[in-house]
Amino acid sequence: MIVEFGSYALILSFALSVFAMGMATWGRIRRNPVLAGAASAGLLASALAIVVAFGSLIFAYVTSDFSVANVALNSHTDKPLLYKVAGAWGNHEGSLLLWCLVMTAFGAVLGLSRGLPFGLKTSAVAVQGALSSLFLAFAAFTSNPFVRLDDIPVQGNSLNPLLQDPALAIHPPLLYAGYVGFSVCFSLAVAALIEKRVDPAWGRWVRPWALASWAFLTVGIALGSFWAYYELGWGGWWFWDPVENASFLPWLAGAALLHSAIVTERRGALAGWTVFLSILAYSFSMLGAFLVRSGVLTSVHAFAVDPERGMMLLAILGLAAGAALILFAIRAPAIRSMATFAPVSREGMLVLNNLFLTAAAATVLLGTLYPLLLEATTGATISVGPPYFNAVFTPLMAVACILLPAGPLLAWKRGDAKGAVQRLRLALVLAVAGAGLAFLLFDPKKALAASGVGLGLWLVFGAIAEVAERTKLARAPFAETLRRARNLPLGAWGMALAHAGVGIFILGAVVETTFKVESARALPIGGEISAGPWKVQLKDVKIIEGPNYLAEQGRLAVVDVAGQKRERETTSERRFFPAGGQTTTEVGLDFRGLDDVYVVMGERTATDAGEPAWVVRLYWNPWARLIFIGPALMALGGLVSLLDRRLRVGAGPGTRRRKEAKA
C-alpha cells in the first residue's frame, strides 16, 4: 500500500508540475497574481508529493520489498541499513527520482521567494515547472522505480559491493543538489529573456543560486574523487574518465557563471554572458545525465544502460537547451547593457575569466565527445585520455591562474594595472622563492613541477595580498586593520578562501602527481617493502567476517626509513562478497601529515621458498591531503560568500523588503 501510494505520489507530482507550468504561463499572459500564486503553490505541492514518493521508495528498500523490481534488482537483505537506504539512489530509476526531488524542492523555494518582480517570477516559475514536468514525465513513464513484479524473487540481486561506502552514499545527493540547482539559474535566465530585462537586480537573484549549486557540486565532485582515491586501490584521484568529465563541465560553467553574475550584479554589464552561462550550466548538467545513463560512453562508472532511455534524455536536452538557446539568440540584442568598461579593469579581468573557463569547458566537452562524434561520422575510433587533457586543459588553466590574483586588485570600470602589479610584488617574490626551493629540495629535480608549486603559491599569496590590501595590513595601525577586517564583507573573505583553495589544490595535485612513488612485492609474514621515505612490514594476516563479506585482513606496520618518526599500524583487506561473487580491496591509509602512505593487500601467492606470501603494493603520495583540502576550501569560500548580507535580500522570504516598503 505504501509502495503504491508512492507510485501515485510520483504521478501526482508530474500532474502538479504540469499544472504549475500551465497556470504560471496563463497568469503571466494575463498578469494575474491569483493564477501566479496558484502556480507557485503548485510547485510546492509537486515537491511535497515527490518527498512522499521518495519516502515510499526508501521504505521499500528498508523493508526489502522484492515485489518492487527496483528493490529486487539493487538490494539484498544482508546489506547494512545505511546501504539499503543509499541503494535507493544508487541506480538509474532511484537517482532520477532524487534528481526530480531536488528539482521540485528548489522550484518550491523559487516559488516561495519574494522581492522578485511579478513578470520575472511568474515566468521563472513557468520555466521551472516545464523542466520539472519533463523530468518527472521521464521518471514516471520510462524509468519508474515503482514497477512491480508478479513473480516475487526470494532474495535481491545485491548492490555492487564497491558502492557500499559512506562517501559514495552521500555523493549523489550532493552532486544532484549542484546539477539541479543550476536549473533555477536556467529558469531565471530564460525568464529574463522572456521579460527582456537583465539588470543588477536580476544579477542579485541569480548569484545565490549559482554560488550554492557550485559549492554543492565542488563538494560532490571532491567526495567522488576522494572515494576513487581510497577505494579503487591504485592511488589515482582523477582519470579524465567520461563520467568525471560529465560532472566537471557544469562545474566549469558554474564557476564562470558565478563570476559573471558578480559583474552583472554590480554594474549590469556582461548581461548576455551571464544569461548564456546560466543556460549553459544547466544544459551541461542535462548533458551529463544523458552521457552517463545512455550507454553512449564507456566508463567504469556509468549506470546500467538503456539506449532508448538515452534517446529520450537527449530529446529532453535538445528541447530544453535548444529552446533556451534559440530564445537567447533572438533576445540577446534586447538585453545588451549600456555599461562600459576599459579592457584593463575588474570587469575586463572577469571577461577574461569567463573566456578561459569557457574554453576549458570546451576542451573537456571536445575531449569527451570527440571520439563519439568521429566514430559516428567517419567510423574511425580514437581515444582521448589524460595526455590530451594535460596538453590542452592544463596550460589554459595555468594561464588563467597566473592572471587570477590581479583581478580582485583592480578597480571597476577602469583599473590601474601598474598599481595592481605593485601590490602583488611581495606575493610574486614569495612564489618564485617557493618554486626555487621546491626545485632544490624535491628529488628528482623537475622544473615543471617546481613551476607548478610556484603557481599554487602565487595563488595563495595572491589571496592573502587581497585581504591585506583591503585591511591595509602593515600600512595602517593594527587596530585599524582589525577594524577593517571585522567590517570586511563576507563576500571578500569567501573570495580569498576560494582562490586560496585553488592554489592549495594545485600544490597538492602537482606534487602528488610528479613525486609519488609506487612499489610492489610479494611479502611473507615479516617481509618488508619500501617506497620513498617510508617502509612497511607485514605483521600478520587473518580472516575476518563482515556483515555480508569475508575478508583477508593484513596488519602492516608503517615506519619511515630513517627511523625517526613514530611507527603506526594500518590494515588493508581483500573482501569477498559471496552474494555477488565479487572481490574488492580496502586500502590501508596512513595519514602522515600532508602525505599519505597507501598500502594495498593483493592476492595470496607464495615465495620461492614455498611460504605463503601476499602481494603488497605500497604507494607514497606526498601532499595528497592538499588535493582534497583545496576543494573543501573552495566550497567553504562559496558558502561564506553565500552568507554575505548583500545576497540574502531578494532570494527568500523578504522581510526586509516589507520593512523598507512600509518606511
* CB nearer to another protein: pick between 118 and 565: 118
Residue 192 interacts with another protein (CB under 8 A): yes or no: no
Name every residue whose Cβ is closer than 8 Å to that of residue 134 and which is 6 or more positions away in sequence. Answer: 316, 319, 320
* CB nearer to another protein: pick between 225 and 435: 225
In the numeric block, which cell numbers belong to residue 124?
A: 521563472
Residue 268 interacts with another protein (CB under 8 A): yes or no: yes
Residue 115 interacts with another protein (CB under 8 A): yes or no: yes
Stretch that binds another protein, among 157-165, 303-311, 319-327, 603-611 (CB under 8 A): 603-611
Q: Which of 340, 422, 607, 655 binds another protein (CB under 8 A)?
A: 340
Residue 663 interacts with another protein (CB under 8 A): yes or no: yes
Q: Which of 22, 55, 527, 533 binds another protein (CB under 8 A)?
A: 22
Amino acid at residue number 129: G
Min dist CB 375 to another protein, Å, is 10
Q: Which of 555, 582, 589, 594 binds another protein (CB under 8 A)?
A: 582
Name the helix (H) or strand (E) containing 590: strand 588-592
Residue 337 interacts with another protein (CB under 8 A): yes or no: yes
- Provide the CB-side half-sphere exposure for 250 (13 A, CA): 36
Q: Which of 44, 253, 460, 626 binds another protein (CB under 8 A)?
A: 44
In the numeric block, which cell numbers belong to residue 99?
A: 534528481
Residue 305 interacts with another protein (CB under 8 A): yes or no: no
Residue with cell 534559440: 326
Q: Which of 7, 104, 285, 572 binds another protein (CB under 8 A)?
A: 7
Residue 396 interacts with another protein (CB under 8 A): yes or no: yes
Min dist CB 654 to another protein, Å, is 10
List the one residue out of 531, 401, 389 whose CA is nearest residue 453. Answer: 401
Stretch that binds another protein, among 116-124, 159-167, 246-254, 309-317 (CB under 8 A): 116-124
Residue 401 interacts with another protein (CB under 8 A): yes or no: no
Residue 492 interacts with another protein (CB under 8 A): yes or no: yes
Min dist CB 516 to another protein, Å, is 11
Residue 252 interacts with another protein (CB under 8 A): yes or no: no
Q: Which of 305, 315, 446, 484 binds another protein (CB under 8 A)?
A: 484
| String of DSSP letters for 462-529 | HHHHHHHHHTTTTTS-HHHHHHHHHHS-HHHHHHHHHHHHHHHHHHHHHHHHHH-EEEEEEEETT-EE
Residue 660 interacts with another protein (CB under 8 A): yes or no: yes
Question: Binding-site residue total for another protein (CB under 8 A)?
Answer: 150
Name every residue whose Cβ is closer than 8 Å to that of residue 381 and which is 6 or more positions away in sequence. Answer: 371, 374, 375
Residue 611 interacts with another protein (CB under 8 A): yes or no: no
In the numeric block, which cell numbers belong to residue 100?
A: 526530480
Residue 578 interacts with another protein (CB under 8 A): yes or no: yes
Q: Which of 55, 200, 524, 546 binds another protein (CB under 8 A)?
A: 200
Name every residue whose Cβ is closer than 8 Å to that of residue 222 and which is 6 or more positions away in sequence. Answer: 628, 631, 632, 635
Contacts of another protein in 402-461 (CB under 8 A) = 408, 411-414
Residue 583 interacts with another protein (CB under 8 A): yes or no: yes
Residue 464 interacts with another protein (CB under 8 A): yes or no: no
Residue 49 interacts with another protein (CB under 8 A): yes or no: yes
Residue 570 interacts with another protein (CB under 8 A): yes or no: no
* CB nearer to another protein: pick between 36 and 455: 36
Encoded one letter per residue, x for contact with another protein by CB under 8 A and - for no contact, window 133-172 reads: -------xx--x-x-x---x-xx-----------------
Q: Which of 109, 118, 327, 473 binds another protein (CB under 8 A)?
A: 118
- Provide the CB-side half-sphere exposure for 173 (13 A, CA): 11
Q: Is the Cα torsion angle 68, 74, 79, 83 positive or negative in sign?
A: negative
Compute, in degrees rounded to 10, the torsion defined by CA atoms 361, 363, 367, 368: 10
* CB nearer to another protein: pick between 369 and 435: 369
Peptide bond into 386 cis (omega under 30): no
C-alpha 503/C-alpha 457 separation (Å) is: 6
Min dist CB 423 to another protein, Å, is 12
* CB nearer to another protein: pick between 378 and 564: 378
* CB nearer to another protein: pick between 347 and 596: 347
C-alpha 503/C-alpha 400 separation (Å) is: 12
C-alpha 334/C-alpha 260 separation (Å) is: 19
Residue 272 interacts with another protein (CB under 8 A): yes or no: no
Residue 38 interacts with another protein (CB under 8 A): yes or no: yes
Residue with cell 511579478: 118
* CB nearer to another protein: pick between 146 and 176: 146
Min dist CB 326 to another protein, Å, is 22
C-alpha 162/C-alpha 90 separation (Å) is: 11
C-alpha 475/C-alpha 471 separation (Å) is: 9
Min dist CB 565 to another protein, Å, is 26
Stretch that binds another protein, among 88-96, 519-527, 554-562, 631-639 (CB under 8 A): 519-527
Residue 479 interacts with another protein (CB under 8 A): yes or no: no
C-alpha 477/C-alpha 171 separation (Å) is: 47
Q: Which of 74, 138, 163, 241 binds another protein (CB under 8 A)?
A: 241
Min dist CB 595 to another protein, Å, is 20
Stretch that binds another protein, among 277-285, 421-429, 433-441, 576-584 (CB under 8 A): 576-584
* CB nearer to another protein: pick between 45 and 317: 45
Min dist CB 99 to another protein, Å, is 19
Residue 40 interacts with another protein (CB under 8 A): yes or no: yes
Name every residue whose Cβ is closer than 8 Å to that of residue 433 and which is 6 or more positions away in sequence. Answer: none
Strand order in the sheet with 595-606: 517-524, 612-621, 595-606, 588-592
Name every residue whose Cβ is closer than 8 Å to that of residue 161 and which is 6 or more positions away in sequence. Answer: 548, 549, 575, 577, 580, 582, 584
Min dist CB 334 to another protein, Å, is 12
Name every residue whose Cβ is closer than 8 Å to that of residue 163 and which is 6 or more positions away in sequence. Answer: 83, 86, 90
410, 420 in Cβ contact below 8 A?
yes
Min dist CB 64 to another protein, Å, is 4
Q: Is the Cα torsion angle 523, 524, 525, 528 positive or negative in sign?
A: negative
Helix (H), strand (E) counts: the chain = 21, 9
